Structures are given as structure tokens and as C-alpha cells.
A and B are shown apart, each in its own frame.
Chain A
Amino acid sequence: MIYEVVPGVVETKEAYGETTLVVDPARLIDACLYLRDALGFNFLADLSSVDYLGWGEEPVAGYWGSASGRDLNAPGTWALPRTPEPKPKRFAVNYHLLRVDPSARGARRVRVQIWLDDGEAAQSVVPVWPTADWHEREVWDLMGIRFEGHPNLVRIIMEDDWEGHPLRKDYPIGGEPVRFSEER
């Protein structure tokens, strides 16, 4: 499957048997329409976002590996502190596409990825796949990424008057601070 013909593709990544197309956010609708109509990805399986705030600030020690897997026998790959590569922007929005066509051959799944900073809005793909409606509402609710062109962008999981976006990395997990009896 040749993905360079898809309009707006900036980069193609292959890892763990999966293809990720990094798309310019300004051309997201063009890319999605092309993938749906010309390449047959008629099913939007999942639309989710990741917050990379704090990525790579603490080195992680352990058995790290590469896209082709872990290599236990390669010297120097064990328990050394290593910081992962920095990410281009704070947020990534992933679109997991699927070709629902029992007779199709070739790759069935592809991931479209766009990168956004805090405050940047993405284009809504509801005109392309109507199922994106609630997924985009959830991303807005929990991560705070706006979608331009969405017909009904209101909170879906949290209450309507909730403040903050809970799934962000700078939002606390919750709980109460422990108070010790000596403190007053």
C-alpha cells in the first residue's frame, strides 16, 4: 500500500507491524477523504489523543527495545537509563482506520496521526465518518483539544459545568492530601 500519494502526509512510520501516517493538521480532511474514498478505509475504529507533557524528563531504566522488539542478548541494552526521543508537539491525535471489506487484500488498518500544541484546534472529521462525533467530544472533554466544524462540541463524559480537562498530564489524579496528627 503506497501511502505517499495521500495528500498531507508528512511522514510514514512502520513499527510493530503497524503503519502510522503523520499528517499535516491543516490538510487532515483532504487526507481522510482520500483514505476513505480512494483507498477504501471506510471505518473509523478509534479517535484518541495522547498528552506528551513531561515526556522524556525522567530517564527510564530497564530493558528497552526498538521497533523490531527487545534484544536480550545485545550488550548495553539492559538497565541503562535512557530518555526517549522528544516529541514534536504536546498533543497527538490518533485516528485508527480500518477497511471493512471482507474480500479486500492488503493492509487493513492504518493510523493517521496529527500533532498539535496546546490551544491549536484540529479539523473535525464528522463529515467524513459520522462516528467521530462522540469520539471528538470525548477528546475535547478529557484532553481539551477543540475540533473546528464539529456540530455539537460539548462535554460528554464529565458534567457540563466541569472545569479542566482530566486526562491531561498536569491534571491531578485526585485524592486528598494526607494530614498528619502533629500538623495543625
Chain B
Amino acid sequence: MNPAPAPIYPGTRIPSPVPTMLQVPEELAREADILEVNFGPNHPSTHGVLRLVVQLDGETVIGLKAIIGYLHTGFEKSMEHKTWWKGIPYAPRMDYVAFQANELAFVMAVEKLLGIEQPPKSVWMRTLLLELNRIHSHLVWLGTSALELGAISPFWYAFRERDRVLDLFELVTGVRMHTRYFQVGGLAEDIPRGFFSQCREFCEVMPGAIDQYEAMLTENPIWLSRTKGVGLLSAEDAIALGQSGPVLRASGVSWDLRKAEPYLAYGDVDFDIPVRENGDVWDRYKIHMDEMRESVRIVEQTLEGMPPGPWIADDRKVVLPPREELHTSMESLIHHFKLVTEGYTVPEGEVYVAVESPRGEFGCYVCSDGGPRPWRVRFRAPSFVALEATATCMGHALVADMIAVVGSLDTVMGEVDR
């Protein structure tokens, strides 16, 4: 447990009156030659369709406003018009890099309302897939963020391993991304043969690959001068701004939902949470690298500890019966018909479930009226909140630092806009 960390800077750097917007101070507005520039929404370095309106005094950013909404497709409203079962594919498509964490949050919320328990095999397999997804997300982050700062080589190295992870997903679920594999009650299908050996091979290769990425960046003088001391965020400001995940841990707060509120099999596996004190871009980078190593440890342990047995709960009111039974059992046929047409109904109530996605706390609030469709689904996206911290992290930094800061906050615009 970390004691209260020493503040990086005294007082708060959250701008006021608007906490998420840097506004040009009065004196500068009159005297300096301010240039207002639009970054995005079409820009190779904004991690998607993010628009930053910045006011520049020379090379220094003195005004910053983030404008979002260019990727809004109405996920939450669409899910109100789909049954519970058919609404599950909406969830992974928000954060399209950490898709299984999104799917898990929604499925866990529905399971909580239903009061249904998943079998142990499903618990461990979900943990395994979630950690593979964490590795996948951090690899994409590493490749793209390094590319934005001009380090072109790590992109190719990171995507080489990313492709191996996607091959593993394809082996298990049939799809590389947006794997609709988590079902309410467990997994959609049993784990196919060959997965465990291929996953073990991946775990043997991955630590060496992480060493390769670190060899390129961690002590690279250009990388250090671009990222050390840039984008400072103190622990108090991070908590006040609702930051979670690697950004919060880089600022010195030892908070990870996998340890604080263990879910799935995280209470049974052994892993550490990397925490750093400086709160700059380099610390966030190092935490991503260390988290990848810890994820490999978790994957190895779940491979060893995978229990045998059924992969989905036995509750026929919610789970499809096996196809062989449909030929002989009338009740199974009726259950199958009801589940496929109207779908199961979820008892009335509201729940909030949060999982530790690679970006932070991904929360799903579900309100049910007892019917076959959700009344309201709300997703708390960590990237949405991370962008709120852009103004605080920037302070009055240079344009080049802005790219580093926005990259280090690890935002995916799909979950920002939903």
C-alpha cells in the first residue's frame, strides 16, 4: 500500500473556471501574436477523430480546447431497442482496442441483475482473454504513440506481437476483433483444441519481445527528452479529474480494480501493480510496459490453473440448450424458441459494474424494467474522462509536448463518443 505521495507541484494545476479548458490569459491576449490552430479531427496523431483547438504563442500552447463527438453513433440509444442478447455485440465496438473488457462489463452487469453464476472454467478463461486483450491494447498504444513522436520502428515490432494475439483470438472465437465470445452465463462455446499450446508459445515469446521494445525506447535519449517531465499530473489532480488506470498509477496512486475490487479470477492469481511517482509521459509509458509483463504472468498462471468442466451456466431460461437436446426434449425446443425470439427477461433494477480495462475504470450502468430489452445502458468510458485531463497535463507546454501528452493519455475515440 502506498502512503500519500509527495505532490509533484504544490497546489492544483486544474484550470479554472472551466477545468477542462486552457484559456488565454488577459495580458497575453492583448499583447502577443496568438495563432489559433485546429488539430484534427482528421489528423494522424490525434488517436482518432479528436479535434483540439489550440491558441499558440510562438511554439507554446496557451489555450486548449478539446472538441469531441465526431464518432458518436448512438450506442446507448441503439441498445435500448435491442434485446439483451442482441445488444451484447454493441459493447465491444466502443473501445475497439480493448473490446473484451467492454463486453465483459456489460455481460457482468446483466449477470448481476439476473443473479446467474458462471462456471469456474468461464471465470478463468475470461481472465485469460482479458489479459491477452490488455497486452493487445498496450501494444497498439505503444506502436501508435511511439509513431506519433517519430519513433517509427517500435510500431512494426509491436504489431508483430499484436498479430499473434489476434491469431489467438481468432483461434478461440473465430474473429480477430470484437469477439462476441462472452455470453450471459459464461462463454459462447468451449475452448478449442490447440489454444493452450499456442498460448503457451506466445507467453514464451512475449517477454523477449517486451525487452526488444524497451531496448529501443526506455533509455533512448531522444525518447527521454521528449517524454521526461512532460505532461505532469499530480495525484490529487488525477483523482479530482477522475483519472484511472495507467494515468492514475503513474501519478503515484496505487489503485487497480483488479486488486481493490477483485472480480473473475484476479483474486486467485499472483501479480503486481506497477506504480510510479512522477506523473509524466515517461512514467505512463513505463507502466504500460510493466503491465504487459504482469499480464504475461497472469496469462501463464491462468493457463496452469484452468479448471475443466462446463463453459456456460446450466440455466435454460437464459442459456441456449445444447443442440442435440432439441431433437428429443420438448422443453428444450420451447426454451430455444423463446430465447431466440423474445430473449430472456432481466429482473427490474439498476446496477453499476466496473472492470479494469487497459485504459482505466470502464463502468457499465444498466437499468432494467423487467423486460426483454434494456431500459437504459450507460457506459462510463475511461478515455472520455482522460481527455478532460488534457488541459491540466499540458500546463503551458510546447506543441510537440501536446502530441506526447495526448498520446500518453491512451484515448480511443470510439469509447469517448460512443
Q: Which residues of B contact A52 (CB under 8 A)?
A: 375
Given contact pairs A100-B239, A157-B417, A60 touches B68 in the complex (Cβ within 8 A): no
CB-nearest residue of chain B to A51: B376
The reply to whether A133 and B365 form a contact with Cβ atoms under 8 Å apart is no
The reply to whether A45 and B372 form a contact with Cβ atoms under 8 Å apart is no
Q: Which residues of A contact B81 (CB under 8 A)?
A: 173
Q: A90 interface residue, CB < 8 Å from B? A: no
The reply to whether B347 and A65 form a contact with Cβ atoms under 8 Å apart is yes
Given contact pairs A55-B375, A100-B239, A130-B14, A63 touches B345 in the complex (Cβ within 8 A): yes
The reply to whether A84 and B370 form a contact with Cβ atoms under 8 Å apart is yes
Neighbour of A67 across the interface among B17, B77, B349, B387, CB < 8 A: B349
Nearest-CB distance from B164 to chain A (Å)? 34
- Which of B111-119, B185-193, B292-300 touches A? B111-119
- Cα of A39 to Cα of B100 in the assembled complex, Å: 34
| Chain B 107-131 per-residue mask, 1 if CB under 8 angstroms from chain A, else 0 | 0000011110000000000000000
Q: Which residues of B contact A56 (CB under 8 A)?
A: 369
- Tally the A-B contacts, defined by beta carbons under 8 Å: 154
Q: Which of B80-107 contact A (CB under 8 A)?
A: 81
* Size of interface on A: residues with Cβ below 8 Å to B: 57
| Chain A 28-72 per-residue mask, 1 if CB under 8 angstroms from chain B, else 0 | 000000000000001111101011100110101111111111101
Q: Which residues of B contact A159 (CB under 8 A)?
A: 69
- Cα of A157 to Cα of B308 in the assembled complex, Å: 46
Nearest-CB distance from A57 to chain B (Å)? 10
The reply to whether B385 and A134 form a contact with Cβ atoms under 8 Å apart is yes
Nearest-CB distance from A170 to chain B (Å)? 12
Q: Using a CB–CB distance below 8 Å, which chain A residues touch chain B?
A: 15-18, 20, 42-46, 48, 50-52, 55-56, 58, 60-70, 72, 82, 84, 94, 96, 98, 100, 102-103, 108-109, 111, 126, 129-131, 133-134, 151-152, 155-159, 166-167, 173-174
Closest 4 CB pairs of A and B: A62-B345, A131-B242, A69-B115, A65-B347
Q: List 29 A-B contacts (CB under 8 A).
A: A20-B350, A43-B239, A44-B242, A45-B242, A45-B380, A46-B365, A46-B378, A52-B375, A55-B375, A62-B344, A62-B345, A62-B371, A62-B372, A64-B348, A67-B349, A69-B347, A82-B370, A94-B365, A96-B363, A102-B2, A129-B242, A130-B388, A131-B242, A133-B19, A134-B20, A151-B18, A157-B418, A167-B77, A174-B74
